[in-house]
Structure 1
Amino acid sequence: MKNIKILICLIMVSTWAEAQDLQSYILEAQENNPQIQAFNLKYSIAQEKVNEVNTLPNTNLSAGYFVSEPETRTGAQRARFSVSQMLPWFGTITARQNYAVSMSNVDYIEIAIAKRKLALAVAQSYYQLHAIEAKQKVLDQNIQLLKTYERLALTSVEVGKASAVDVLKLQIRQNELRQQREILDQDYVAEKSNFNNLLNRKTTMSIGIVSEMTLPLEDPIYLGNGLELNPEILKYDELYESIVQSELLNKKDGAPNIGFGVDFIPVQERPDMNFEDNGKDIVMPMVTFSFPIFNNRIKSVSKQNEMRLKETELQKNERINLLQSALAKAESVRNEARIKYNTQQINLKQSKNAEEILMKNYETGTIDFNDVLDIQELQLKFQLNQVESVQLYYVQSAIINYLIN
């Protein structure tokens, strides 16, 4: 849970307002998500198994009646009653409890993994929604800009400095942008449904997304402990420990069991005789042992546990390699996102300068609306690329947080 809280705090690295919004969504998702609830129940069941194994074998009770009463010196035996209790060897119950606890620890790690994955999924969907909204704003701004250019073109047509074709080109370009805007509306509806499903609530519920996101001047310093404390790695440590406890329990199962009991036989008095022990009942304490002489099962389980330990080590190493590759990839892609963002920033500034030059030309009475369309198209491309770079940066930051915090 501590790692989850650190993840939630570090996954938002832009503004405090954004962190508040996204954090509340993540907490809501973790509270309402059916998969998390199922894992919690699974963990509770595993904990209850600790109580289940803290039991002894059934107590044996038996009773019998002599149809033909055997005659003894002190009288005839009429019936026989027995009670016995088998006990596992010393430490066997503790070994069972330790094994059950180790298995419950594996289930607890599964909860931590599920919460991390859910937090990552919520963050990725959140950033996708922000990117869609940002692109919608960019398209709206460019549509309004084209309307301004259209009015300028109409004025130029009136004075004979532009053709009606220029006006039509500007209108066609507006139609294309409106089409992109409508497609983004559909993308937003789909992603909104996905986001609300992650929170296990109605898909039509509104979502509050931060209005603006920019890249921080420097990449955040991660305070995590590296991949070795990632729950996906800790899971193999807990699995390894459960196998160790399984082998300890297996050795205890190979030890003998001891039992204690008592037999009681009521004896009928002999009416024709008078002596001190006449009709004295028989009480016979008993001790029994059971030995696993044919213990091939014990030896086989030990070999299986030895192989399972090696298998778990290999699986852990493989998982570490995969996570290390994912971490390197995420860091690389995040760095690429910053490079692209800075490049688009420079390009946007230069395209704005070109736009100003065109507007100054219009004041002198000359303007090429083909150049206007070219500049507008470049600006739109740079703006959309910049939005995607911001989204990519934060998505990769979320992945890095998932891996090492």
Structure 2
Amino acid sequence: MRDAGNILALILMVLGASSLVAQDPSPLLQTYILQALEQNPELASSRLQHEISLEKSEEVNVLPNTEFGVGYFVSEPETRTGAQRARFSVKQMIPWFGNISARQEYTSALADAQAMDVHIKERKLILELSGTYYRLYALHKKMEVVSRQLSLTETYKQLALNAVETGKSSAVAVFKLQIRENELENQRDRLEEQLLAEKEGFYNLIGTESSAPVQLPDTLTLDEFTHDLAEVNLDLHPELVKFEEMYESVMQAEALNRKEAAPNLGIGLDYIPVEKRSDMNPVDNGKDIIMPMVSVSIPIFNKKYRSVSRQNEMRKESLELDRLERKNRLETMLSKAVHSREVARINAATQQENILEADNAMRILLRSYETGTIDFNDLLDIQEMQLRFEMNLIEEVRSYYNESLIINYLSSTS
């Protein structure tokens, strides 16, 4: 029985190794978030698109192309002062007053909307990266649980073998424990594959290749924090502010449309060189011709601009409806996340209580071995419960932090 006593001591030590130790995970995760914000390729592409939209403000800050013309008279027209040889012209169209500034304001409004897109993508990247981080944590903790259960199963097998040798149990108990061990090994292998896949996705989000293990916290604990929905102002959320920026861009598009419906002015100059007459010498003989010109381009058929105005009105109405629909969705997401987080906290507390009760039951069952009897069927049942409760606890903790991420995403306006 000395060997059995040592085995029992080992089992009780393993059972007591699952105590929670609080540790703040934010410094570890924050490091990865900063890397992702700097290196994520999709985010980098979005920032470049914003820079392109900023450059468009410079693109529109110009006048239309200056027109130059050269003509040669094949049949030279004769005038009193001489024959005309060629014709040179230059012409510059000038948009109506305020047209160029309206274009700049329109492109600037589009750039502001694009900047809000970048901000939203940054926040969604943080949300996705953090969610993957906590899934990695959950998988890692599940592997620890399975490894611990494997160690216990091996120890239980030794107890069963001792019991078979002393006639206290049948060999069936050993086979059942072997089957149990096989199932746990299979579960561990599947968790390892899932962990590798999640890790690859994690580093892809960061925008780097790495084979190093992700640095995870030892243990995540749950606080008693409850979020007050009344304190959240979703109107300041970037996803809704984006609609305001887009609405402003439509307003600027309409202002530009009105400017483009106004006349355009044109100024120019024609120069015609004249050859001197040799048969006579009239006044201004051979004097070149210089002719300044002014032109006006009037959009008489302005149906196009009226159509654009109607389209802009419809765009504004559409944006208002889209914003209302999106706000409703965000409110629903926030409410669900707050309540789901509280449910996860309640469930986690229940699982912790169940784990303690299962551990107590296992201790009582193992103590009965000292009296000469042990029911290995009960042992397997309790071990299954231990595994289920610990796995459930890990999932509830992950769910708690995942819902916290959603709450932070929706409630934070910075």
TM-score by length of 1: 0.89
Are positions 1:94 and 2:83 aligned together?
no
Task: Kindly indicate whether the alpha-carbon contact (under 8 Å) linking 2:66 and 2:92 is maintained by their aligned counterparts in 1.
Answer: yes
1:130 alignment counterpart: 137
Which of 69, 78, 87 is matched with 1:70 structurally? Answer: 78
Task: Kindly indicate whether the alpha-carbon contact (under 8 Å) linking 1:260 and 1:286 is maintained by their aligned counterparts in 2.
Answer: yes
Measured after TM superposition, the shift of residue 142 of structure 1 is 1.5
Cα 1:81–1:90 shift into 2, 3 Å: same
The whole-number CA distance in structure 2 between the counterparts of 1:161 and 1:81 is 118
The whole-number CA distance in structure 2 between the counterparts of 1:314 and 1:338 is 36
1:285 alignment counterpart: 292
1:401 alignment counterpart: 408
The whole-number CA distance in structure 1 between the counterparts of 2:294 and 2:152 is 98
1:151 alignment counterpart: 158
Cα 1:129–1:222 shift into 2, 3 Å: farther
Task: Kindly indicate whether the alpha-carbon contact (under 8 Å) linking 2:266 and 2:295 is maintained by their aligned counterparts in 1.
Answer: yes
Are positions 1:190 and 2:217 aligned together?
no
Task: Kindly indicate whether the alpha-carbon contact (under 8 Å) linking 1:192 and 1:203 is maintained by their aligned counterparts in 2.
Answer: no
Measured after TM superposition, the shift of residue 351 of structure 1 is 1.6
Measured after TM superposition, the shift of residue 308 of structure 1 is 0.7
The whole-number CA distance in structure 2 between the counterparts of 1:264 and 1:223 is 75
Map of 1:343-358 to 2, 5 A cutoff? 343-358=350-365
Runs of 5+ consecutive residues of structure 1 not aligned to the other structure: 1-13
Secondary structure of residue in 1 paired with 2:50: helix
1:304 alignment counterpart: 311
2:237 alignment counterpart: 230
The whole-number CA distance in structure 1 between the counterparts of 2:373 and 2:389 is 26
* Equivalent pairs, count: 390
The whole-number CA distance in structure 2 between the counterparts of 1:309 and 1:154 is 78
1:5 alignment counterpart: none
Identity %: 48
Measured after TM superposition, the shift of residue 55 of structure 1 is 1.2
1:339 alignment counterpart: 346
Which of 108, 114, 124 is matched with 2:115 structurally? Answer: 108
Which of 366, 379, 384 is matched with 1:377 structurally? Answer: 384
Aligned letter for 2:318? E
Which of 49, 65, 78 is matched with 2:56 structurally? Answer: 49
Measured after TM superposition, the shift of residue 282 of structure 1 is 3.2
Considering only aligned residues, what root-mean-square deviation do their CA atoms show, in Å?
2.3
Secondary structure of residue in 1 paired with 2:168: coil
Are positions 1:390 and 2:397 aligned together?
yes
Measured after TM superposition, the shift of residue 257 of structure 1 is 0.8
Encode CA deviations 1:44-70: one digit per residue, 9 max, x unaligned: 221111111111111122233443233
Cα 1:169–1:64 shift into 2, 3 Å: closer
Measured after TM superposition, the shift of residue 76 of structure 1 is 4.5
TM-score by length of 2: 0.87
Runs of 5+ consecutive residues of structure 2 not aligned to the other structure: 1-21
2:252 alignment counterpart: 245
The whole-number CA distance in structure 2 between the counterparts of 1:224 and 1:110 is 25
The whole-number CA distance in structure 1 between the counterparts of 2:115 and 2:122 is 11
Cα 1:253–1:158 shift into 2, 3 Å: same
Secondary structure of residue in 2 paired with 1:145: helix
Secondary structure of residue in 2 paired with 1:64: strand
Aligned letter for 1:91? G
Cα 1:78–1:180 shift into 2, 3 Å: closer
Aligned letter for 2:182? N
2:92 alignment counterpart: 85
Secondary structure of residue in 2 paired with 1:80: strand
Secondary structure of residue in 2 paired with 1:397: helix
